[in-house]
Structure 1
Amino acid sequence: MATIIRDAPHHNMLTCVKDYGCLLPECRDRYKAYQRNRYHARAAGTWQPLADAEPVRQHILNLHAAGITDVRISELANLPFVTVAGFTRIHGTTNNKRARKRRCTPEVAAKILAITTDKATPTCVDATGTRRRIQALVAAGWPMVHLAPHFGLAPRTVIALIDQKRIYARNAAIVAEVYPRLAAMRPDRNGISRRSITRARRLAASRRWANKTYWAERMDVIDDPHFIPEYGLTRAELLAQEARWLIKTAGLTRTQAAERLHKDRSYIDRVLGADYEAAA
């Protein structure tokens, strides 16, 4: 009866050779090196293949309490997800349940114990620049769902970035890196239908999102949350902004603001009223 060699789920541990019969040269070399080290360590009386898993389990539980998931731990430790999950949960298929780990290799323990909450918690930054870059691309005809593959993010994540005030630094870095390339590309030459392009541009126009041409001259302030774009504003709306600043910040009355702006008081009342209604 022939032996079936299954594909290993990963190739960064000895199990790919021991349990799956992996034939990759690098995996075989790693397995042989392990066996040689084991032989010499046993001969010298220093062989300690497994360590108590309880300290590792408690460390993982502390990371969980800080909001750090097993997926994030496995990324930082460069270990398979099942290895990390095995310390705190029963896992496996319905017919092949695996109990929580009681022992582990010193290498695995060292990798997990080296993770701290400071390292594991993603750094967050202001989302202003990311939001403006995505908006500019949408104004150019890129639907957000089509931007997602270019960013390496899920479509729902890209859509959520539009409304978030703070985001993961790695997502901000990805968008900032990809933006110049996409801004130089035409969506209709990259698989986007004319209908989708039109819908994206209409969405951007209805929300007055500044386009890439506007930001091309203002890249030094695209990440500045204190910079207020004046894109798509009418003269009345610009005047209302100035009048509101004079009233709220400078402490002037409407009459004094009208005099400073060289406008009639009645006109200032009209633009402020229209501006407030539009904002509401």
Structure 2
Amino acid sequence: MSAGCGCGDGAGQVTRRGMCKLHYDRLRTRQIAYGRWNPRVPGDAVRAHIETLGAAGVRPGQVAHLAGLGHSTISRILANPGGRVSDRIQAAILKVAVPEHAGDVTADNALVPILGARRRVQALVAAGHPASRIAREIGVAPNSATMAALVGKRTDGQTSGRSITAERERAVRAVFDRWQWVPGQSARARAIGARNGWPLPLEWDETAIDDPHSRPEKARWTPASAREERRDHVDRLTSQGLTAPEIAERLGINIRLVERDRAHHRGSTDTESTAPEPTSRDEVQAMGEVAAKARVDIAARRQPARRRGGLERTR
């Protein structure tokens, strides 16, 4: 950069915006008079917002993209604590909302934290869904490094990955949303989940499952509670306009069971009855699957509890 003033006379020493103090002060006075002066403001609020976005999984480069700024601008703000920024840059950065899921606001190939996706995969395995089936649903090979990271395995002596692409994270969330209400069929998967102490899907608060500081709440599973949860899910999807075949496909149950749950809901809203509801063969099968899962969970928990000479709560 030339030592001369940006106005071109070469007489003054450059201070701000490529101008000497004389010409910079003239510009400032003129812009204030026109109401167009954009002063620089403390960057504390901007830096704090970038850090909050980072904690939510939005990396600095992604913040720059969402704010319509250059990557170097964000880097410069973070590298200069106590520095100032223009009000234009401040407004652009503060306008970027903190997302519930980083994958919702980033490009498909952008990297986001893997924790929430890993917890969802582990919960589905604990509920009886094999990891190989989950892998096929999200479009990765069962023996891939991505799947190893999602189930929390160590590779080459190193801890499993901390990041996943936004596209994969969204795919995992979609599978979890479809299967979290449906007991899986694999006793081996349930045993793996019990051996590793992985929580079941409904033991996670969906608003906190991505929070590194959140913890699951142990639940007590019974056939009746599973039935009520399924009916609530059928009712919610029905209110969204989904057909019985669409609901059956999403929940992994047959159409007759969906129609029965719908009929139960209509009957419960039309009239109240104390007579016990007859149980269909399909419902008996669903209840049996939940009971079998509960027995496997209880047996797996009792064995280590006996060795410790103590008792442990069951799910």
**TM-score grouping bracket, smaller chain normalisation:** 0.3 to 0.5
TM-score normalised by structure 1 residue count:
0.34
